[in-house]
Structure 1
């Protein structure tokens, strides 16, 4: 029994037929986008005769090359195509040709992008450019460790290289150029956070470099990054912070591990990962080893350790921090990090209580915002404060106050269960302040250059013993402080240079 022709079984109209069915303004906008696709794929100016434009487009798409299809879909629809969309269109081209394949896809385009919006977004193909995706860093109000790394790194990249800073629309459908205020916020943290722009220039990278110096956890964003890495003919690179949601998923909130899995699904298709420590590299290499079971090789993985560089503090900054944080007659123990279970602050509170009951006098200052699953910590903190213990949390603190706090502290304690790097440890040691930190992973890696006392973070008594030593043994404290001041110095400038070479060089 014959299956009939495309027309007999109700297959979609051709692209030319679709173009004839829309308004003149919509037709002009679509033809402009088709011209952009033709010139990008051919490397030549698009035909001036509009009658030749669609046939030329169809000839270029006839081989059903997945990269060309991705470009065409992304430009026509003003949003980055996903891998399933590319595969579906490739199959349609092989069955019925590009005219029918794109004719069927132009109807939703006209409805959703052109006919339904007064503003027709400009679509710009960026070829041979370096795009740096700092969507979160440009918009978020919090300054996490990841955002600090992104800002310190990208600011130095921008000073030495020509970059295009990009973000996403609110639905994570398309890349867009950041506005000047957003660029300033991404690079310096200045200015109020704002929503994603909705009416900006849509950019489609092609034969360019795409760099991701922050963590993406949004499924729609990761689906489009994965397709970009596969089909945009771009060099792609990402800073790899850690695989905590996979290796210690029990310490994260519901859904975080699933969201992180979508990030790894995108990173799987990227060219290079620059990890922030050898411990982080071990996690990523373990994940990459698993990819062989699905026939994938995964990205190249390198190690570019973070620096611990901290600017100097002025006398006024030290005086302000002293008045704000110190309790007269008591040494200060400083802890920096969000109050999530992985940071192990419950164990720290218990260790501190053991020492207070011994009669040791010190105040404990925890700098960091609330995070997932911190209800137990909040309750135990309230209990300690009700007992009159000298402990407080500071949810927001300027960088200058933090640098001063490092210098004023007797020690910095960081008993985390898992860290990609442990930036507060490196920063405290850079200030010459001893650290009490975990005896494995990136924290032990940092401590290898001296200045830190290692403890077992899973043993409250071990944490208490480490704190007891630095609080009561002046000679041990002096040795640690001397070793901290003698550590080799690594600057943000060096780090940014090394990561650029690893990802874009």
Structure 2
């Protein structure tokens, strides 16, 4: 029986679903939060793509009162399925000390999960003790999975290393890169009006206000670049504040010392696309990512991106339309920004490269996940 998916996908109807795989799809965190992180974008867009391919997708979560998997009411009691797929972090059940993949096995289900990064165990100083314990439980969970999808080779390697260090089983891990497509927005095909001599360089940064996103170094780099030769650089910072009040205060203090720098809360996709349209290039300063979606999303919207020459960006960024530098170095950031501001032809070339670069879509991503689930389901 079909049910309406709380991530905004209509899974009702369609004759193609009659013989398609039935997937219990864990999406309760995404359904409950009004804002959209990278993981939640993946959860929503993958759900939509799988349904469009004819998958019988049943949204599930955790019923703490009954200590059972929670299904939509029309589907209650119908746990017969091919897979339990976890595209997000199942915080509710992990918070009770339980392993959702082991629960799936108790129901006789095969399980697959997406691993986005291992930053909480690689940078534990950024998390309190309770969060560290929950994330350790989360990453140990992958040892029981029948199939794991990693966003990059880097993340796949981190997970293998972690599980071996914990003396746990390493499951089959397949690298399925995320797409560059920005939500449901059509790809920008035409080059923007060229920056005229004397116009300020308009930059956009989309990132949550948390220490690992490296916003303080970016702001110091902008200030340093502005001090060199009177370059005009304007930066718009778009992002949701995290849980780091002292860090937030440092960002706000720095913003007040930088001419033309402004900050605004994360907005909806339409307004964000308009902000990309108004800029000449984007800057993604993070030095540690599992993928770095804003890099490719910027290219999708026709704007080149300045990003880190390391971590997952070393896999994601090459291919045209990006400029890479050491984002762990204020001076290197300032030098890259100076080039972008002082060499208009560089922006033009990077923009042309961004427009010409092939980029994957969410339909491509869903097709890759679906085909691997079907292959894993085939009898040996």
Alignment TM class, shorter chain as reference: 0.7 to 0.9
Q: Equivalent residue for 1:148?
A: 41
Partner secondary structure for residue 255 of structure 1 = helix
More helix by share: 1
Contact 1:236 1:503 in 2 (8 A): no
Query: How far 1:374 moved relative to its partner?
Result: 4.8
Q: Equivalent residue for 1:161?
A: 55
Q: Equivalent residue for 1:193?
A: none
Contact 1:174 1:202 in 2 (8 A): no
Q: Equivalent residue for 1:268?
A: 143
Matches within 5 A, 1:399-478: 399-478=269-348
Q: Equivalent residue for 2:202?
A: 332
Q: Equivalent residue for 1:369?
A: 240
Q: Equivalent residue for 2:71?
A: 177
Q: Equivalent residue for 1:217?
A: 91
Q: Equivalent residue for 1:381?
A: 252
Contact 2:181 2:297 in 1 (8 A): yes
Residues 365 and 141 of structure 1, relative CA distance in 2, 3 Å threshold: same
Gaps of 5+ in 2: 1-20, 193-197, 376-380
Q: 1:277 & 1:391 partners in 2: Cα distance?
A: 33
Matches within 5 A, 1:45-84: none
Residues 202 and 312 of structure 1, relative CA distance in 2, 3 Å threshold: closer
Q: 1:398 & 1:142 partners in 2: Cα distance?
A: 9
Query: How far 1:347 moved relative to its partner?
Result: 0.6
Alignment equivalent of 1:394, drawn from 241, 251, 264:
264
Residues 405 and 213 of structure 1, relative CA distance in 2, 3 Å threshold: same
Matches within 5 A, 1:199-218: 203=77, 205=79, 208-218=82-92
* Greater relative CO (CA pairs within 8 A, separation 6+): 2
Note the alpha carbon deviations across 1:263-316, whole angstroms, 9 max, x for none: 11222211111111222222122223335x3xx4232101110111132389xx
Residue-pair matches, total: 342
Q: 1:204 & 1:342 partners in 2: Cα distance?
A: 42
Q: Equivalent residue for 1:96?
A: none
Partner secondary structure for residue 108 of structure 2 = coil
Query: How far 1:210 moved relative to its partner?
Result: 0.5
Contact 2:29 2:91 in 1 (8 A): no
Q: 1:410 & 1:305 partners in 2: Cα distance?
A: 26
The TM-score with structure 2 as length reference comes to 0.82
Q: Does 1:355 align with 2:229?
A: no
Note the alpha carbon deviations across 1:13-52, whole angstroms, 9 max, x for none: xxxxxxxxxxxxxxxxxxxxxxxxxxxxxxxxxxxxxxxx
Q: Equivalent residue for 1:137?
A: 30
Contact 2:203 2:280 in 1 (8 A): yes
Q: 2:212 & 2:65 partners in 1: Cα distance?
A: 30
- Which is greater in Rg? 1
Q: 2:324 & 2:130 partners in 1: Cα distance?
A: 32
Q: 2:291 & 2:237 partners in 1: Cα distance?
A: 19
Q: 1:473 & 1:329 partners in 2: Cα distance?
A: 12
Query: How far 1:202 moved relative to its partner?
Result: 5.5
Contact 2:23 2:57 in 1 (8 A): yes
Q: 1:376 & 1:444 partners in 2: Cα distance?
A: 27
C-alpha root-mean-square deviation of aligned residues, in Å? 2.5
Q: 2:212 & 2:324 partners in 1: Cα distance?
A: 17
Query: How far 1:483 moved relative to its partner?
Result: 1.6
The TM-score with structure 1 as length reference comes to 0.63
Alignment equivalent of 1:301, drawn from 173, 180, 201:
173
Matches within 5 A, 1:482-497: 482-497=352-367
State which drifts further: 278-287 or 298-307: 278-287
Q: 1:478 & 1:227 partners in 2: Cα distance?
A: 53
